[in-house]
């Protein structure tokens, strides 16, 4: 029987229709069993207090931390103490894990790298096609009382257009397969992959981001957030896009400069943008996003491209199994290891 203490810092799945209840941790209790003390981060007024003394108190003495959107910090690790064995990210992106800090302390970290590929590919396709077919202006116009086939502008035939994919990992490839079927051509920019892989997906690899931006009618981002990709889409990159092109971001908010995007929409450097992710997480917490949020050619969702009943159930079970393996000392070699002692990024 597994024993130990685990803190889930900010699990979204404990909250349903605004109410938080630890009783929802059914899968976790079933997988971990009665010998494991299950703790949850402090939740007040509709949000987790992610960087608070109460969170640090909850972490004290834990062997495993499971983080969702909480940033791993020195204070959090210090609060957990020397018994901390593993940090697990409940999700795909690992930018909040603080890789250098964990590597320096020799604490291995794991994620669930593939639980929502289907969902993100579907969500990205929905965002892209909403832009191409001007669904949001159409919906607003008709529900506002006016029947007008031209509201939002006249679309272009997607088969004459070129799709551009930045980052050709699990999600980028699924997007090529699905969304790519609507487009005449697909370009891929991923500096860490050989160029032949793209051809296996009916796409063509390009050598530079500039080339991809110059050739694509819809650019969709599927690279991780790293020091190299932060503000990848700044004013220069947005200006380098075609004037009739769209931008889709369902990867990470920090890939796009909010002020530059606001300007790009207002001054029509590009024709529209669809975003599932922002920095900060809630764009209403940063006024720089306001011009984007109220722009008629923007489509936005609340960081939920990953979400489906099936994906949530799978990620919860897989994370709980990882936690149990870590408490049993069997976690080495478990798939999903993202970094460990000396491994860096
Ligand atoms: P992955 O690791 O399979 O693929 C990422 C690809 O990006 C790799 O092929 C890598 O070589 C490439 N890459 C790295 N640096 C690059 C650069 N500078 N320019 C272009 N390409 C670069 O990751 P996966 O599963 O495809 O996920 C991609 C990202 O999507 C995640 O890092 C995460 O941030 C985001 N994501 C967002 C979700 C949401 O709900 N909105 C859900 C799941 C993931």
- Domain segments of the chain as ranges: 4-115+308-339, 117-300
* Cβ atoms of 159 and 185 closer than 8 Å: no
Q: Which of 9, 2, 75 is nearest to 42 (CA)?
A: 9
Does 156 qualify as catalytic in the annotation? Answer: no
Phi, psi (rounded to 5 degrees) for 173: -70, -40
Q: Which of 164, 162, 160, 140 is nearest to 151 (CA)?
A: 140
CA-angle at 64, arms to 18 and 28, nearest 5°: 50
Among 210, 266, 281, 290, the active-site one is 281
Rounded to 10 deg, the angle between the 170-178 and 117-132 helix axes is 50
Residue 338 pLDDT: 74
What's the pLDDT at 339?
62
As a residue count, the chain comes to 345
Tokens of 342: 């000396």
* Nearest Cα to Cα of residue 172 among 221, 130, 230, 241: 221
Residues of the chain with pLDDT under 70: 332-335, 339-345
CA dist 245 to 151, 265, 268, 292, Å? Answer: 18, 11, 10, 16
SS3 assignment, position 337:
strand
Q: Locate tokens 């590009």: which residue?
A: 270
C-alpha distances in angstroms, 27 versus 180, 193, 229, 315, 329? 37, 38, 36, 11, 21
Full-model pTM: 0.94
What is the Cα Rg of the chain in Å?
21
Paired residues of 64 in beta bridges = 6, 86
For residue 314, what are the CA distances in angstroms to 57, 112, 114, 323? 29, 9, 10, 14
What dihedral do alpha carbons 97, 103, 105, 109 form, nearest 10°? Answer: 50
The fold adopted by the segment(s) 4-115+308-339 is Rossmann fold (3.40.50)
Residue 139 annotated as catalytic: no
- Within this chain, domains 4-115+308-339 and 117-300 share the same CATH topology: yes
Cβ(48)–Cβ(7) below 8 Å: no
Helices within the chain (DSSP H only): 26-32, 53-59, 74-80, 99-105, 117-132, 135-143, 170-178, 196-200, 209-215, 235-239, 258-266, 290-293, 309-327
Q: Bridge-partner residues for 273, per DSSP? A: 247, 298
Which pLDDT score is estimated for 241?
98
What is the pLDDT at residue 342? 35
Give residue 95's pLDDT.
Answer: 93
- Ligand 1 site-directed mutation target among 224, 228, 303, most atoms within 8 Å of CB: 224
> 121 C-alpha vs ligand 1 centroid, how far in Å?
12
Distance 226 CA to ligand 1 centre (A): 10
* Active-site residue, from 161, 252, 297, 318: 252
**6 CA distance to ligand 1 centroid (A)?**
28
Q: Which CATH number fits domain 117-300: 3.40.47.10, 2.40.30.40, 3.40.50.720, 3.40.50.300?
A: 3.40.50.720
Query: Which protein residue has the closest C-alpha to ligand 1 atom 37?
Result: 251
Q: Who lines ligand 1 at CB under 6 A?
A: 92-93, 113, 116, 120, 166-172, 189-193, 222-225, 228-229, 250-252, 276-277, 303, 305-306
User: What b-and-e string marks burial along 89-98, b requiring 16 or more CB atoms within 10 Å of the CB?
Assistant: bbbbbbbbbb
pLDDT of residue 345: 33
> Catalytic annotation on 321?
no
What are the pLDDT digits (tens) for 211-268? 999 999 999 999 999 999 999 999 999 999 999 999 999 999 999 999 999 999 999 9
b/e sequence 142-165, b meaning 16+ C-beta within 10 Å? eeeeeeeeeebeeeeebeebbbbb
């Amino acid at each position: 029987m597994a024993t130990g203490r685990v803190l889930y810092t900010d699990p979204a799945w404990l909250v349903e229709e605004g109410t938080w209840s630890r009783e929802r941790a059914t899968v976790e209790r079933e997988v971990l069993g009665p010998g494991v003390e299950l703790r949850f981060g402090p939740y007040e007024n509709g949000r987790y207090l992610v960087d608070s003394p109460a969170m640090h108190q909850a972490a004290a003495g834990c062997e495993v931390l499971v983080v969702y959107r909480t940033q791993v910090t020195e204070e959090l690790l210090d609060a957990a103490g020397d018994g901390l064995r593993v940090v697990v990210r409940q999700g795909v992106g690992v930018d909040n894990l603080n890789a250098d800090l964990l590597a320096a302390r020799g604490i291995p970290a794991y994620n669930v790298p593939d639980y929502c590929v289907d969902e993100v590919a579907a969500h990205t396709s929905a965002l892209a096609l909403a832009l191409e077919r001007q669904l949001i202006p159409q919906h607003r116009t008709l529900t506002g009382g006016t029947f007008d086939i031209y509201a939002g502008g006249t679309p272009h035939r997607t088969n004459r257009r070129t799709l551009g994919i930045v980052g050709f990992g699990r999600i980028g490839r699924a997007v090529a397969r699905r969304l790519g079927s609507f487009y005449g051509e697909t370009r891929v920019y991923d500096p860490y992959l050989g160029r032949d892989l793209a051809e296996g997906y009916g796409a063509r690899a390009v050598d530079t981001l500039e080339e991809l931006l110059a050739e694509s009618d819809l650019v969709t981002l599927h690279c991780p957030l790293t020091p190299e990709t932060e503000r990848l889409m700044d004013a220069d990159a947005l200006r380098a896009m075609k004037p009739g092109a769209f931008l889709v971001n369902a990867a990470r908010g920090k890939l796009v400069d909010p002020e530059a995007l606001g300007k790009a929409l207002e001054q029509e450097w590009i024709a529209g943008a669809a975003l599932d992710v922002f920095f900060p997480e809630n764009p209403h917490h940063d006024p720089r996003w306001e011009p984007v949020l109220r722009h008629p050619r923007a489509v936005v969702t609340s960081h939920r491209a990953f979400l489906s009943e099936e994906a949530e159930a799978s990620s919860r079970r897989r994370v709980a199994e990882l936690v149990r393996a870590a408490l049993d000392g069997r976690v080495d070699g478990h798939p999903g290891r993202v970094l460990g002692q000396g491994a860096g990024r």
